[in-house]
A and B are shown apart, each in its own frame.
Chain A
Amino acid sequence: MMRRLLLASAAPVGAFALTLVISSITLWAFGSNPFSAYGDMLSHAAKLETQVDILNRATPLYLSAVAAAIGFRMNLFNIGVEGQYLFAFLIAAQVGSMLALPQLLHIPLIMITAMAVGGAYAGIAGILKVTRGVNEVISTIMLNAIAISGVIAWLQQRWQADQAQFTSTTLGTNPIDESGLFPHINGLLEIFTRDIAQGKELTGLLLVAIAVGLGYHFLLTRMRFGFDLRASGLNPFAARAGGIPPKRMVVAAMFLSGAIAGLIGMVELADTAKFPPDPIKGLGFAGIAVALLGRNNPFAMVLSALLFAFLDISAGILQNTEAATKEIVNIMQGIVLLAAVIAYGVSKRVQEREEARFTAEALAETEPSGVTS
């Protein structure tokens, strides 16, 4: 038992160690002192306001990772989370700004809109795959381009707040009323600490992300759809022979993945109250990395989202303290991914061999070998 636990933790620990070594060499090669850089990163991470920043960053990263993981679980590569969340963000912001409703209706309506738009946009890739055989990697990448450089760019201009300034796109959409904004949860922080978060606000979407994570876990382990999803990923042929409709699963998984992707932009929306002229981009792609590092596991992805958020936030800190260039953070994110992929590959082989050996041994003990002397 101990041995199995050790084996399971060997991969992440090994990946982490490898990352530290390579990052240190890189830092040293660029003339920085790796220890002072790590020191700065850690000492800031010990401060409450940095922790709030990390959580605010980890929230959309985690949602994005779950969105990607739903597809990965059945070998569907939804590379289009990026386009899906930005598109959903824009439409939800616009719809929200056109309505005046009580808070209890306004917020859910905006979120449902975002999920429906994200889901439908991802669903296009699913439908293309099952009807025309278009590989989802290609179609989602193309749909990203269509959404970001096409539809969003156009609608952003049409829907900008002040039509008089038609020439600029600096305004964003009309602001949403207070009733449509997901409340911050600094109150929760005060339960844990008396420190003030220095004007930082902890996003309420953190609770949504936790609920999504639990829901994802429940879906995979307790629900028939989750079983079908995993079976389709583990062996699509056995799944089909087992009565799981492959086409319907592809469309459903893409829709669900896109719907979760739709929630990513809600974190920023709660802050800005509108689709800003320059929204945070790249969360969709980062989510793929987070899911990869967390092996699509709902709990491991929490840790990997926190790690990526920590590194993201550290970039700004390193720039301020001038201990190292901020790009080292991107290098570290890259290395940790590569190291993890290698370490997981190795540990999977070792585990499989161990399991076969364990089974053979357990059987040898319980059964007479048939040889008597």
Chain B
Amino acid sequence: MSAVIELTGITKRFPGVVANDEVNLTVERGEIHAICGENGAGKSTLMKILYGMQQADEGTMKVDGEVVTFNSPNDAIDAGIGMVHQHFMLADQLTVLENVVLGAEPVRVGGAIDFKEAKAHLAEVGADYGLTIDPDDMVETLEVGERQRVEIIKVLYRGAQILILDEPTAVLVPQEVEALFDNMRELKAGGATILFIDHKLDEVLEISDSITILRQGKTVATLKNDGVTAHDLAELMVGSELPSPETGESTVTDHVALSVRDVTVVDDDGRSVIENINLTIHKGEILGIAGVEGNGQAELVDAIIGTAAISHGIVELLGTDITSMSVRKRRESGIAYVPEDRHHEGLMLQAPLWENAALGHQTQKPYGSKWFMNRDGARAQTELIREQFDVRTPNIDVAAHALSGGNQQKLIIGRELTSDPSLLLAAHPTRGIDVGAQAAVWEQIRDARAAGLATLLISADLDELIGLSDTIVVMLRGRMVARLAPSDVTPRDLGAYMTGAASQDEPNHDQRRVVQ
């Protein structure tokens, strides 16, 4: 076997963060190669560089032994590399055949599309790789798994020998995952090389030949899939150094700040995304939630802040039932919220900093009142945040997009903590920011904890969770599967609970210090 892809020293910087730091990756011809890592480890960036969607700042790429530079995905396609994105890019109202040829139509003299030729070529590709699908089916009638197959065929149709699949199993139900894996084996038998991103370790172990693990933008290891266990992978993914953030003395009090009882949230299809969750957070306590992304943590936060409807159960803040309160009422009663994606839910990127500081608190002093905004008050408060939380900006009138990620995050943390909250919901508060800003955010959360703030912390950084939390709860498939004390848990243990390799009975009943 020879290396079909060889990446050396790939480095990619974004303002304030290094997404890929001298990453090396070697993929052998005809293998299925998994790329694993936590969110923010740099997997997607690396794949985007390989597919020509982004350009590396440093490093060399070799395909089939030749040094290449890709300025756009077209260059990558010409080199035989194709990518299937997590979100499908198909036209619902067109047939499978039309979707497959879209943008690469065989044309007859006179400009008409040669559908006969296209169909023949499609059948050829299907036969070569053992993929079957009716070319005349309307895409809107297809199941998710079938749509994914169309995406794969689309890439093969363009002559790709190397396939990049970006979290292909994230959108599939278990049976569809099996079908996908069968397809992947067929593709491999047909001579294709497959690179895929996944962070479900059991899946990785089932299908891949080799595994490369990234952590914080760096390559940690490339392993052959023989004799490797999920535990090993989890440990490599999260790292096993001593936790760097530390909370010191316990400040947990007996006063219950947040009580979540038996809460269930269902999605649009009526399936429960979180089920019968029970939590209590006391004043001065940080409750950490561990879990692989997509196991209900985000929905739990949505249920508490009020952006997701609770179908069953009760949420109480300082003894007051807030289950049916509006988001605004909840915020006014003292819930602070640091969203997981600051660009999506946290900021108005085109608006000046002082308006961003007011967002979420515009009905409260000093930003405004029920009817009017207080410009002077809001500006003064923003200056205060800028100073106290070290938001590096020339002035508070620049638009939020001009700031680096770390400074944007400090602004959000600042506006939430200066609003005198009684509960902080912090989802991935240090994601995608540099080390300096990270330490500053930890410091602020610790100080707030000492001042009696109750915090619900969600993080993919297990060191951060273990280091900051007073209690850790693990969520898997929308349920709480473990309740652990951070003092006697390692990232490796957490990883085992997160991936379902270990389990605890009835974690809901292990509520310490329950005050009813």
Q: How many residues of A contact B (CB 8 A)?
A: 30
| CB closest residue in chain B, given A225 | B371
The answer to the question of B399 belonging to the interface, with a C-beta cut-off of 8 Å to chain A, is yes
Distance between Cα atoms of A120 and B350 in the complex (Å): 32
Residue of A nearest to B356 (CB): A238
Is B362's CB under 8 angstroms from A352's CB? no
Known: A224-B372, A359-B402. A238 touches B348 (CB 8 A): yes
Tell whether, in the assembled complex, residue B371 and residue A223 are in contact, meaning their CB atoms are under 8 Å apart: yes
Question: Whole-angstrom distance between the alpha carbons of A181 and B508 in the complex?
Answer: 73
| B349 and A227 form a contact (CB under 8 A) | no
- Evaluate contact between B394 and A363: CB separation under 8 angstroms: yes
Is B196 an interface residue, CB under 8 A from the partner? no
For A363, give its contact among B307, B339, B344, B393 (CB under 8 Å): B393
Nearest-Cβ distance from residue A94 to partner chain B, whole angstroms:
35
B351 touches A230 (CB 8 A): yes
B window 378-402: CB within 8 A of A: 392-394, 398-399, 401-402
How many chain B residues have a CB neighbour from A under 8 Å? 41
Contact of B344 among A227, A237, A243 (CB under 8 A): A237
Instruction: Report which residue of A239, A243, A352, A355 has the largest number of chain B beta carbons within 10 angstroms of its beta carbon.
Output: A243
Per-residue contact bits, chain B 313-336, to A (CB 8 Å; 1 contact, 0 not): 000000000000011111110000
**Is B369 interfacial (CB 8 A cutoff)?**
yes
Interface of chain A residues 183 through 225 with chain B (CB within 8 A) = 221-225
Contacts of A363 in B (CB 8 A): 392-394
CB distance from B350 to the nearest CB of A (A): 6
Docked CA distance A359–B391 (Å): 12
| Chain A residues closer than 8 Å to B351, beta-carbon distance | 230-231, 234
For the complex, give the distance between the alpha carbons of A223 and B347 in Å: 20
How far apart are the CA atoms of A155 and B223 in the complex, in Å? 80
Which residue of the partner chain, among B348, B361, B401, contacts A352 with CB atoms under 8 Å?
B401
Q: Provided the pairs A224-B371, A363-B394 are in contact, do residues A242 and B402 lie with their beta carbons within 8 angstroms? A: no
Chain B residues near A238 (CB-CB < 8 A):
339, 344-348, 359
* B360 touches which of A237, A242, A358 (Cβ 8 Å): A242
Contact check, A237 vs B345: say whether CB atoms are below 8 A apart: yes
- Contact string against A for B residues 393-418, beta-carbon threshold 8 Å, 1 for contact and 0 otherwise: 11000110111000000000000000
Judge if A235 is at the interface, Cβ distance under 8 Å: yes
Which of A235, A243, A359 has a CB less than 8 Å from the CB of B328? A243
> Is B370 interfacial (CB 8 A cutoff)?
yes
Which A residues are CB-close (under 8 A) to B327?
A: 240-245
Contacting residues, chain A, for B370 (C-beta < 8 A): 224
CB interface residues, A 314-373, toward B, < 8 Å:
352, 355-356, 358-359, 362-363, 366-367
A245 to B399, CA, bound (A): 24
- The residues of A that contact B360 with a CB separation of less than 8 Å are 241-243
Q: What A residues does B345 contact at CB under 8 A?
A: 237-238, 240-241
- Asked whether any CB of chain B lies closer than 8 Å to the CB of A136, the reply is no
Residues of A contacting B330 with CB < 8 Å?
Answer: 243
Q: Which residue of B lies closest to A234 (CB)?
A: B348
Q: Cβ of B151 < 8 Å from any Cβ of A?
A: no
Q: Is A228 an interface residue (CB 8 A)?
A: yes
Contact B373 A241 (CB under 8 A): no
Q: Answer whether A356 and B402 are a contact pair too, CB < 8 Å, given A227-B358, A235-B348, A363-B393.
A: yes
Please indicate the chain B residues that have their CB under 8 angstroms from the CB of A228 in the complex.
362
Contact: B373 with A239, CB < 8 Å?
Answer: no
Chain B nearest CB from A325 CB (Å) reads: 37
- Please judge, given known A-B contacts A235-B349, A237-B345, A243-B326, whether A224 and B359 are in contact too, CB under 8 Å: no
Known: A227-B358, A227-B368, A242-B360. A356 touches B373 (CB 8 A): no
Check B369–A224 contact: CB distance below 8 A.
Answer: yes
Known A-B contacts A356-B402, A359-B402; A241 and B339 likewise in contact (beta carbons under 8 Å) = yes
Contact of A235 with B347 at beta-carbon distance under 8 Å, contacts A227-B368, A243-B360, A359-B403 already known: yes
Task: Select which of A235, A242, A362 is within 8 A of B362 by beta carbon.
Answer: A242
What is the CB-to-nearest-CB distance from A313 to chain B, in angstroms, rounded to a whole number?
Answer: 36
Chain B residues near A239: list those with CB within 8 A: 348, 359
> Least Cβ distance of A207 to chain B in Å?
25
Distance between B403 CB and nearest chain A CB, rounded to angstroms? 7
For B369, what are the chain A residues with a Cβ–Cβ distance below 8 Å?
A: 224
User: Which residues of chain B are within 8 angstroms of A241 by Cβ–Cβ distance?
Assistant: 305, 307, 327, 337, 339, 345-346, 360
Is B375 in the interface zone, CB < 8 Å from A?
yes
B31 within 8 A of A: no
Measured CA separation A363–B326 after assembly (Å): 40
Query: Measured between C-beta atoms, what is the minimum distance from B355 to chain A in Å?
Result: 7
Q: Scoring A residues 173 to 187 as 1 if CB is less than 8 Å from chain B, else 0, what string do you get?
A: 000000000000000
Complex contact A359–B393 (CB within 8 A): yes
Q: Is the CB of B363 within 8 A of A224?
A: yes
Q: Which residues of the partner chain A approach B363 to less than 8 Å between Cβ atoms?
A: 224, 243
The reply to whether B372 and A223 contact each other, CB–CB distance below 8 Å, is: yes
Check B346 against A244 for contact (C-beta < 8 Å): no
Q: Provide the residues of chain B in CB contact with A240, threshold 8 Å.
A: 307, 327, 345
User: Which residue of the partner chain, among B331, B348, B371, contacts A243 with CB atoms under 8 Å?
Assistant: B331
Given A230-B351, A238-B359, also A355-B398 (CB < 8 A): yes
Which A residues are in CB contact (< 8 Å) with B307?
240-241
| Interchain CA distance A237-B348 in the complex, whole Å | 9
Please, which residue of chain A has its CB at the minimum distance from the CB of B415? A242
Q: Mark A233-271, 1 if CB is under 8 A from B, else 0.
A: 011011111111100000000000000000000000000
Q: How far in angstroms is the closest Cβ of chain B from A244?
A: 7
Residues of B within 8 A of A230 (CB): 348, 351
A367 to B436, CA, bound (A): 15
* Docked CA distance A245–B329 (Å): 11
Nearest neighbor of A218 in chain B, beta-carbon distance: B372
Q: Closest CB of chain B to A234's CB: distance in Å?
A: 4
**Closest B residue, CB atoms, query A362:** B394
Which of these, A227, A244, A355, contacts B373 with CB under 8 Å? Answer: A227
Q: Once bound together, how far apart are the Cα atoms of A207 and B355, in whole Å? A: 32
For B371, the chain A residues whose CB sits under 8 A away are 223-225
Q: How far is the CA of A241 from the CA of B305 in the complex (A)?
A: 8
Q: Given A359-B402, A359-B403, do A242 and B359 touch, yes or no (CB 8 Å)?
A: yes
Instruction: Please name all residues of chain B whose beta carbon is closer than 8 Å to the beta carbon of A224 when the two chains form the complex.
Output: 362-363, 368-373
Distance (Å) between the CB of A370 and the closest chain B CB? 11
Q: How far is the CA of A367 from the CA of B399 in the complex (A)?
A: 20
How long is the Cα–Cα vector from A244 to B371 in the complex, in angstroms? 13
B371 to chain A, nearest CB (A): 6
Complex alpha-carbon distance, A350 and B485, angstroms: 52
In the complex, how many angstroms separate the beta carbon of B448 from the nearest chain A beta carbon? 19
Nearest CB in chain A to that of B359: its residue: A242
Chain A residues with Cβ below 8 Å from B403 are: 359
- Most chain B C-beta atoms within 10 Å of own C-beta, residue among A237, A241, A355, A358: A241
B504 to chain A, nearest CB (A): 32
Return chain B residues, CB-CB under 8 Å to A234.
Answer: 348-351
How far in angstroms is the closest Cβ of chain A from B386? 12
Q: Give Cα distance in the complex from A240 to B348, angstroms.
A: 12
**Least Cβ distance of A72 to chain B in Å?**
14
Q: Does B348 lie within 8 Å of A231, measured CB to CB?
A: yes
Chosen A-B contacts, 21 in total, with CB atoms closer than 8 Å, are: A223-B372, A224-B370, A225-B371, A234-B348, A234-B350, A234-B351, A235-B347, A235-B348, A238-B344, A238-B359, A241-B307, A241-B337, A241-B345, A242-B359, A243-B326, A243-B330, A243-B363, A245-B326, A359-B398, A362-B394, A363-B394
The 5 closest A-B pairs by CB, nearest first: A243-B328, A362-B394, A242-B360, A234-B348, A359-B402
* 7 extra interface residue pairs, beta carbon distance < 8 Å, beyond A235-B349, A242-B362: A223-B373, A224-B362, A224-B373, A241-B345, A352-B399, A355-B402, A362-B394
